[in-house]
Amino acid sequence: MTSILVVEDDEAIRTAVTRGLRERGHAVEAVGTGLAGLEHIIRERPQAVLLDLGLPDIDGLTLISMIRAASDVPLIVITAQDDDPTMVRALDRGADDYVVKPFGTDQVEARVRAVVRRGGRDLTPSVIKVGGLVIDETTRRATLDGAVLELSRKEFDLLALLASRRGQVVTKREVLAEVWQLPAGGPDRSVDVHVSWLRRKLGETAADPRYLVSVRGVGLRLVDPDSPDA
């Protein structure tokens, strides 16, 4: 059983999603406004959130940022907007996945299982060291030469994935699947943006890389800049 919060202003959709997930054995609460959803997340700490972007009191993209400032709860956007720019912005703000209306309860439940399972990987202690980088997956803390890196959720997940396969080329297809939980053909522009942000925080550029080495037409690998094999 998973505790799920549904934030949806359309009463018919809210009721249908809530009923469908409860019939499948989940503990579901539902609210009709963004601020009520944020309060519930902080107070009750659900295991997953289904969030509509078209809310009456606050812009859904703004709400994602507010949620991310307070919680790492797995968050799935449910929306009638299926245009790429909106989805990219939602993912960049910190959403873990999205489904486009209309959708079936089985599809939503599968997405919930995926993001909750993904969130559970932090339960296994793991500290990875690459040169001056130290990535602690348990505390979700990364340091570079002893200084703490201020990383977003996606930036940390991207860095942790690359570090776990240090020296190996990781393709965009794999990044989309592992970090964004999306199939190939998803918003890979978002990957490029996050790589650029991550480079900046590591004190490097694409033209002068230290840790993040691009392999043209293939992907990206994380290396120890002090290693002769880098």
Of the residues 69, 100, 121, which one is the last residue of a structural domain?
Answer: 121
Same domain, 153 and 84: no
Please indicate, yes or no, if residue 229 is contained in any of the structural domains.
Answer: no
- Asked if residue 206 and residue 143 are part of one domain, the reply reads yes
Residue 190: give the domain boundaries.
124-222
pTM higher than 0.75: no
Mark whether 109 and 7 lie in a shared domain: yes
CB of 132 closer than 8 Å to CB of 217: no
User: HEC string of the chain?
Assistant: CCEEEEECCCHHHHHHHHHHHHHCCCEEEEECCHHHHHHHHHHHCCCEEEEECECCCCEHHHHHHHHHHHCCCCEEEEECCCCHHHHHHHHHHCCCEEEECCCCHHHHHHHHHHHHHHHHHHHCCCEEEECCEEEECCCCEEEECCEECCCCHHHHHHHHHHHHCCCCCEEHHHHHHHCCCCCCCCCHHHHHHHHHHHHHHCCCCCCCCCCEEEECCCEEEECCCCCCCC
CATH number reported for the structural domain that contains residue 161 in this entry = 1.10.10.10
| One domain for residues 130 and 181 | yes
| 19 and 97 share one domain | yes
**What pLDDT score does 12 carry?**
93
- Same domain, residue pair 76 and 179: no
Regarding whether 155 and 109 lie in a shared domain, the answer is: no
Question: Do 175 and 204 sit in the same domain of this protein?
Answer: yes
| 227 assigned to some structural domain | no
Please give the pLDDT value at position 81.
74
Residue 201: predicted pLDDT:
96
Residue that is last in its domain, among 91, 121, 151:
121
User: Do 114 and 147 have their domain in common?
Assistant: no
Is the distance from CB of 157 to CB of 177 less than 8 angstroms? no
Q: Which of 57, 50, 54 is nearest to 78 (CA)?
A: 50
Q: What is the pLDDT along the chain (230 residues), one digit of tens a residue?
A: 688 999 999 999 999 999 999 988 888 999 999 999 999 999 888 999 999 999 999 999 999 999 998 888 999 999 887 777 888 889 889 999 888 888 888 888 888 888 887 765 443 446 889 999 999 877 788 999 999 999 998 899 899 889 888 888 988 888 887 787 666 555 567 888 999 999 999 999 999 999 999 998 888 999 999 877 66
The whole-number pLDDT of residue 185 equals 55
The rounded distance, in Å, linking the Cα atoms of 118 and 127 is 18
Residue 230 belongs to a domain: no
CATH number of the CATH domain containing 102: 3.40.50.2300
How many other C-beta atoms can be found within 10 angstroms of the C-beta atom of residue 171?
A: 14
Number of domains in the chain: 2
> Which residues are CB-neighbours of 4 under 8 A, at least 6 positions away?
21, 26, 27, 28, 29, 46, 47, 48, 49, 50, 112
Residue 137 in any domain: the answer is yes
Last residue in a domain, options 87, 105, 121: 121
The answer to whether residue 228 sits within a structural domain is: no
Same domain, 134 and 71: no
